[in-house]
Chain A
């Protein structure tokens, strides 16, 4: 606003013109209102502060509750998914150790120790379905089937003179299934095996499986052909005849 005496710019709450010294009366009502509003505002602020002070414990408690709920949720999630976290970490480590792990696996392969290879692959969480191990996929799958065959034959044939076996018939049945599975997978994947960079090892695995059948089940090449031409029941009967003898 302007001073009506000198025309200088003056503030809305000024009581005196700073330029001409005239007492300003035109804004008296405004100044009175301002004083009233300030008094009201102070009262309101005081009331607000009182309410806040009154509610601070509840607000803090609610804040703590939210933090505790988040913490419980996070810990429960971590606990529930710990296996995945461990597996992921182990897989990442297997990728970091690719050079040394590959060399060790190659040693197992060169020795023809496919059960050792399979055990190493499992123990070290090698993710054969993704880089940099993806070229091992078929080899690992076949090694797992071969290992199952070895386990099944071992369980069916190796026991002491006073052995107390839980269920010999089940062992023989498992043995037949594991043998069938390895040879079935081999036949089904033959074209992929021929195109695989590790085909020589897979063929050697098959040769070892043939030898296991010959050494422990009495199946030479002709015997194997005859055995695999038979039904499941006759295959089981053959294994029972060979393995249940005293």
Chain B
């Protein structure tokens, strides 16, 4: 094998390696990018789907991260707020029954604030209220 052939092969291999490297770098950089607080980016579609299906309990469970301070994209925030509302309505009944009046009061304040923040979703919020009222065993 002549030196020219060896050199040609090595250049070809280098070009392939360079292409592989260039293809890997953006993915690696993107994978490494993060914030210290969890970012919720996957669930909005699921939340919307469960909202459409009126499965409010699932919406509440899927949205819980926002109650722990997770950051969400601005355009998805209202869906998470609906879930937060559903969870707070569910828990409010528990706190009220358990005699945690302070926490129940805080829940009411937040519930009222979310209603004010989401005027376009009054109908959904009413349905959530009704679902909780129906779920409570009389």
List A residues at the B interface (Cβ < 8 Å): 54-55, 57-58, 61-62, 64-65, 68-69, 71-72, 75-76, 78-79, 82-83, 85-86, 89-90, 93-94, 97, 104, 111-113, 115-125, 147, 150-151, 153-166, 207-208, 211-212, 214-218, 242
Contact = CB atoms under 8 A, between A and B. Distances in A.
B64 A218 contact: no
Interface string B56-94: 111011001111111000000000000000110011011
12 contacts: A58-B6, A86-B32, A90-B34, A90-B36, A111-B106, A113-B103, A119-B64, A125-B38, A151-B64, A153-B57, A154-B56, A216-B136
Given A120-B67, A155-B61, 14 more contacts: A61-B11, A65-B14, A65-B17, A72-B20, A78-B31, A111-B103, A112-B100, A119-B67, A122-B68, A123-B37, A154-B57, A159-B57, A211-B98, A215-B97
A121 B70 CA distance: 10
A158 B127 contact: no
B10 A61 contact: yes
B32 A85 contact: yes
B17 A216 contact: no
A119 B65 contact: yes
A119 to B, nearest CB: 3
B53 A215 contact: no
Nearest to A209: B94
Interface SS, A side? helix
Contacts of A150: 61, 87, 90-91
Nearest to B68: A119
B122 interface: no
Given A65-B10, A112-B95, A217 B57 contact: no
Nearest to B104: A112
Contacts of A160: 54, 56, 127, 130-131
A217 B87 CA distance: 17
B32 A118 contact: no
B24 A54 contact: no
9 smallest beta-carbon distances between A and B, as pairs? A119-B68, A160-B54, A82-B31, A154-B57, A158-B57, A157-B135, A151-B61, A68-B17, A120-B68
Contacts of B28: 75-76, 78-79, 82
B42 interface: no
A165 B55 CA distance: 7
Contact of B135 (A76, A119, A158): A158
A68 to B, nearest CB: 4
Given A85-B32, A154-B86, A208 B94 contact: yes
B68 A123 contact: yes
A121 B69 CA distance: 10
Nearest to A219: B137
B7 A57 contact: yes
B3 A54 contact: yes
A120 B7 CA distance: 58
Contacts of A64: 14
A211 B137 CA distance: 12
A217 B37 CA distance: 35
Nearest to A77: B28
B120 interface: no
A39 to B, nearest CB: 29
Contacts of B113: none
A163 B54 contact: yes
B86 A158 contact: yes
